[in-house]
Amino acid sequence: MAVLRPFDKLPALNSAVLLLVSSDEGLQQKLAEAILREKKNFKINIHLATSLPLPSERDHLRPRIDMIVFMIDIKSKYSLKNVEASLAYVDASFFLGKVCFLVTGVGRVNCCSIEMNAIWKLGEIYSSPVLFCELEMEGIRVATAQRLLRMLQICAGHIPGVSALSFGSLMRSSAND
Amino acid sequence: MESVDGAVRTLPSIGRLSRGLLFGGVHGRVGLSPSSRLLPPAPPSQENVDSQKTTFLLRKQWTLYSVTPLYRFSDTHLKDYARLLSAFIAAEKQKGLAVEIGVELGIKVAISSLPDLRGSDRDQAAILVQLSSRSPASPKNSEEKVIWSGWFCSVSGDDFSENVPEDFTCLPLFLANGAESYTSIVGSWFQKTFDCCFRRLAISPLNLSWMAAMWTGCKVDKTASAMELVFSVPHLPQPLDISYAIHPEDAKALWDTVQKTPGEITQEEVDVFMDCLYSHFHRHFKIRLSATKLVKVSTAIASAHCDGIIKFLQSQYLTGVLMLLTELAISQIQ
C-alpha cells in the first residue's frame, strides 16, 4: 500500500512540493501553470496526478510532498467520487493542515451535478479547508494560484511562527462563523 | 456548518407544510438543495380533478421561467388585464401607430384562472394567458386558433408566499408554449404592469437526477414508455450525446430496492439509484457517465431538459411535478 505520508522523507532546502489531484487534466494543467507564473523566492515543484495512490516504483525519486490539493468540479460527479476514492491513500497526519479541497465551477449552479452538502461534509470529515473558485476564469485562477501558493509556503514551513496545523485551525474557525 | 438533515417536507394533505429548514444551512453559498423530499402526492380520486381542464397542458413543450411576486395583481380583474394586454400586443405589433383599446384586432387575448392547479388552498390559483388568432380571410365564422399560451402557477409554494408583503401575489413559476416573440411581449407587459421580473429557469443535472428517481417510483396504469436519460460529454471538439434507455419495470425494480421509506426520498437514495445505473453502464461500455452532464430525463410521467423545458405526460402527476418546479423557481428567486 502506497499511502502518502508527510514526514517520511527529509525536506529539500528552500523548496516546496505541491501535489494536485484532479480527474480533469486540462484545468489541473492550467492551475499549475498559473502557480508557476507567480513570483516567489523559493523553488516550487508541482506534481500532477489524476488519482491516488501514486505509482510506488518511482517513490524513491519523489520528493517529500508538503501539501495536497484535491480538485472537485461541481459539474462532474465523477470528480467527487475520484477524490473520495483517492483520500484512502493519504496518511492521517496529512490532514493536520496539509490538505485542501478546491471546488471549481462555482457560480454555475445550473450545471451542478454534485450536492453541495456532500462537499461540506467532505471538508468536515477530513477537517480540511474547502476553497471555492472558478478555474475557467483567468482572474479567479490567478487569485486561487496566489492563495494556494501562500498555503504551500506555510505547509512547507517557510513562514516563521505559522504551522500548517495552526493555519488550518484558523481557517476552520473563520469558516464556522 | 449547519445541518440540513432535518429538512423534510410533509404532504399537503397532512396539514401544515414544514419546509422551514429547506433553504437554510447552506443558504447564500453555492447551490442549495434539500436533503430529502416527499414524493408527489398519490393520484387523487377522479372527482377531485377535473382532468378535462388540464389535459390541454399535457404533451406540449413548456419553457420554464421563474417570476418574482406580482405587485397589485388581482384575479377579479382578469378581463381588464386581457383587454389591456391585447392593446399592448397590438401596439407592439404596429409600433408607432396609435391604437384604441377594445378595437377588434388580429390577436385575441384570454386570461382565465385554473383553480385546479394548486397544492393547497393557500396557493394562489394558476392563471392562464392564451393568445389566439383568427384567419383574416373569413373573420367571423372561422375558429380561433391558439397561437401562444402561458400560465403562472404555484403548487405548495405557500411557505414563500406567506413571507411577502401584503400587496404581492406569488406565482413563482411561469410556463410558456409558442413563439418566443409573444413570450417576450407578454412578459414585458406583466413586468411593466405588476413590477415583476422573469428569468429562464434551468434545471441542474442534480435536480434532473432527482426527477429521474422521483418519477421512476410513480405508478402508471398503462404499459409505460421507456425511461430515457440523455448525457452530454464535455470537453470534446464535437458535441457527443449518450442516450441511456431503461425498461420502466427494471428501473422501478431497482428503485424499489434503493428506497427505504415509502413516500419519502433522500438525496442519498437518489445518489445510490443513479450510481447503480452508472456502474451498470460502465460495466458494458466502459464509459463513466458520472463524468458527463445529465441533460435530459424522460419517463412516462414527464420529460425535462436541463435548459428548462418540460413536457407533462400524465395528468394525475401534474401537480406533483409542478410542486418540484415551484420549489426550484422559488429557490432561483430567493
Give the sign of the dihedral formed by CA B108, CA B109, CA B115, CA B117: positive
Q: What is the ipTM of this complex?
A: 0.85
Q: What is the pLDDT, as a whole number, of residue A11?
A: 87
Give pLDDT tens digits for B233-267: 988 899 999 999 999 999 999 999 999 888 789 99
The domain locations on chain B are 1-38, 64-200, 203-306
Does the structure show a pLDDT above 70 at B169?
A: yes
Contact B310, B175 (CB under 8 A): yes
Give the closest-approach CA distance of B257 to chain A in angstroms. Answer: 22
Q: With an 8 Å Cβ cutoff, is A127 touching chain B?
A: no
Please state the pTM of the whole predicted model.
Answer: 0.85
What confidence tier does B7 reach under pLDDT thresholds 50, 70, 90? very low
Q: Please name the member of A23, A79, A109 whose beta carbon is closest to the beta carbon of B31.
A: A109
Q: What is the pLDDT, as a whole number, of residue B94?
A: 77
Q: What is the pLDDT, as a whole number, of residue B137?
A: 57
Q: With an 8 Å Cβ cutoff, is B232 touching chain A?
A: no
Q: What is the pLDDT, as a whole number, of residue A125?
A: 93
Q: With an 8 Å Cβ cutoff, is B31 touching chain A?
A: yes
Residue type, A6: P
Measure the CA–CA gap between B208 and B298, rounded to whole angstroms: 10
Strand pairing report for B36-38 and B264-266:
antiparallel
- Paired residues of B109 in beta bridges: B131
Q: What is the pLDDT, as a whole number, of residue B220?
A: 79
Does the structure show a pLDDT above 80 at B102?
A: no
Beta strands in B24-82 (DSSP E): 36-38, 61-67, 70-71
Cell numbers placing B221: 396504469
Q: With an 8 Å Cβ cutoff, is B156 touching chain A?
A: no
Tell the CATH superfamily of the A15-176 domain. Answer: P-loop containing nucleotide triphosphate hydrolases (3.40.50.300)
Q: What is the pLDDT, as a whole number, of residue B139?
A: 56
Give the closest-approach CA distance of B169 to chain A in angstroms. Answer: 26
Contacts of residue B59, Cβ cutoff 8 Å, sequence gap at least 6 = B311, B312, B313
Cell numbers placing B31: 447551490
Q: What is the pLDDT, as a whole number, of residue B25?
A: 31
Which is nearest to B328 in space by CA: A39, A112, A3, A101? Answer: A112
Q: Do A76 and B290 touch (CB under 8 A)?
A: yes
DSSP-derived 3-state class of residue A145: helix
Q: With an 8 Å Cβ cutoff, is B26 touching chain A?
A: yes
Mean pLDDT over A20-49 rounds to 94
Burial of A119 (0-12, 13-18, 19+ CB in 10 A): buried
Scanning every residue of chain B, which has its alpha carbon at the shortest distance from the alpha carbon of A117? B26
Give pLDDT tens digits for B273-288: 999 999 999 999 999 9
Beta strands in chain B (DSSP E): 36-38, 61-67, 70-71, 107-114, 126-133, 145-153, 168-169, 173-178, 198-200, 227-233, 240-246, 264-266, 293-298, 302-305, 309-312
Contact B281, B182 (CB under 8 A): no
What confidence tier does B177 reach under pLDDT thresholds 50, 70, 90? very high
Contact B146, B313 (CB under 8 A): no
- Paired residues of B74 in beta bridges: none
Give pLDDT tens digits for A118-151: 999 999 999 999 999 999 999 999 999 999 999 9
B 263-302 near A (Cβ less than 8 A): 267, 271, 288, 290-294
Q: With an 8 Å Cβ cutoff, is A110 touching chain B?
A: yes
Q: With an 8 Å Cβ cutoff, is B306 touching chain A?
A: yes
Does the structure show a pLDDT above 80 at B21?
A: no
What confidence tier does B27 reach under pLDDT thresholds 50, 70, 90? very low
Cα-Cα-Cα-Cα torsion B29, B34, B35, B37, nearest 10 degrees, comes to: -170
Under CATH, what is the fold of the domain B203-306? Ubiquitin-like (UB roll) (3.10.20)
What single DSSP character describes residue A4? B
Does the structure show a pLDDT above 70 at B24?
A: no
Strand pairing report for A15-21 and A67-73:
parallel
Contact A44, A35 (CB under 8 A): yes
Q: With an 8 Å Cβ cutoff, is A33 touching chain B?
A: no
Residue type, B65: Y
Give pLDDT tens digits for A26-37: 999 999 999 999
DSSP-derived 3-state class of residue B249: helix
The domain locations on chain A are 15-176
Contact residues, chain B, for A124 at CB < 8 Å: 1
Does the structure show a pLDDT above 50 at B31?
A: no
Residue type, B166: E
Provide φ and ψ at A62, rounded to 5°: -80, 135
Q: Do B290 and A81 touch (CB under 8 A)?
A: yes
Q: What is the pLDDT, as a whole number, of residue B22?
A: 31
Measure the CA–CA gap between B81 and B68, rounded to whole angstroms: 18
